[in-house]
Every structure is written in C-alpha cells, then in structure tokens.
Structure 1
Amino acid sequence: MSAEDPSPRDRRFPRGVYATGSEPDGRFSLANERTFLAWVRTALALLAGGVALEALDLPVEPHLRLAAAVLLVVLGVAAPAQAWFGWARTERALRERRPLPGPVLSGPLAIGVAVAGLLVLVGLLVR
C-alpha cells in the first residue's frame, strides 16, 4: 500500500475504537455486534409499545396510560444510546484485552419497564 492509501484499519468508523489495541478474534467482535443489534431491537419494541398504548383504545385510565406510553418512548430513545456506547466500550475492551464492561443503562431500562408495567396495571384496576 502506498503512503497516501490509508489501511483498512484507518478507514473504519469510529476511529476512536479501531485505533486502539490489536485486532481481536472476529467471533468476539461479531458477538458484540449482535448485542448491539439486540439493543436496537429492544429500542424498537419499547417505541412500538409506547405508541401502541396511546394509539389503541385500551381500558386503562388515560393519565396513567399516557404516563406509561411516554416512559416507554423515553426508554426507547435511551436504548440506542446503550447500544452505541456499550458496543464501543466493549470493542475497546476486546482490543485492549481488558475485562468486558457491563451495560450502563440496563438497570434504569429494566426499572423503567417495570414502572411502565405498574402504571398500566394500576390504570387497569382504577378504571
């Protein structure tokens, strides 16, 4: 390769991830990518659930239904952040041969889903 032609390693995005450490076993990077995609699917499900709560005429007290719907949409917006930053942190750890980090937003997301479920449950009972 010539000096002007960047290596494939230099062209990958994000450079802040790929410029560190050494290339890990491809199986680990692919598993990390599958986890990223699982978070994206989770985000889509949260968004769909929030929209469905408001779009469908469900027998749930309207204020509690709206609160649960908004909470699910907010969580659906937060999940892709977990996907991206979690993927980058894990890829860097793999490349630097460090222990893998845990997901930062999984706890708040789980609590938020539980709260949304409780809002719907209470909304069903008080209607």
Structure 2
Amino acid sequence: MNKTLKVYQIINVNARIKNVIEGDSAINAAFKFKLLRLYSEIQGVVKDFEMTKDSLVNKYGKDVVDEKGEIVPNQKRISPEDDNWKDFIKEINAVSDSDVDVNFTPISAEELFSMGLDTDACADLIPIVEE
C-alpha cells in the first residue's frame, strides 16, 4: 500500500514500533513480523530526517565545550535559551510537517486492537492501519 504521511507521523510510528518490539512480549509473532517489516521500510525516512536535523543543529547550534573548557570538535548543541532557537524550530517543523510517500503493508484495525497495546501505542500506530 502506498500512503502519504507526514514526516512527524513516520517518526512517531518508528519510535512506537521500536518500543513495542523491544518491550511487549505479549504480541504474537505474525504481528511482530509485520511491525519489523514496516520498521525496516521507514528507516530511510527516519535516517533522512535525522541527517537534516543534525545539519540544522550544525547551522544554528553552539559549540560544545568539555569540562576543561575546550571546544569538542564536530559537536554542536542547540537549546531553547539560544538566540537561534526559533529559527531552528521553524525549519525543523517545516521538515517534520512535510509529506512523504511510503509503501508498506498495513495492519488491520482488528489486528492492532487485539494485541492488547495501551491507547497511546494504538494512537501512534493508527497511521499504518489499513483504511
């Protein structure tokens, strides 16, 4: 199934799948397999988002200083107290709100709800449920 999702939805789905796979032994093997397949299918988008975020941190962030007061090479950090924070947030939000076409095998609503996942997990996984 080809579906258009927002980048932030893919990031949320990715994090939730990882959490479910690593922490919930109550899910059956077939469901786990579907989640693992989907997880591998969206890794490209997740990787691209992380690379974009890193480049924005490099663009807007400040140098990281170690305990000796020396600048750590190739490391920058940004925080809400920084002058460039609003510019960083504006750009990262534009990226996370952009549309991406993904091709994956959806799961059924019945399958999702039968796994006994908490409501937050189900809500995060709704974008991968077949329509």
TM-based fold match above 0.5? no
TM-score by length of 2: 0.31
Which structure features the higher share of helix residues?
Answer: 1
Which structure features the higher share of strand residues?
Answer: 2
TM-score by length of 1: 0.31
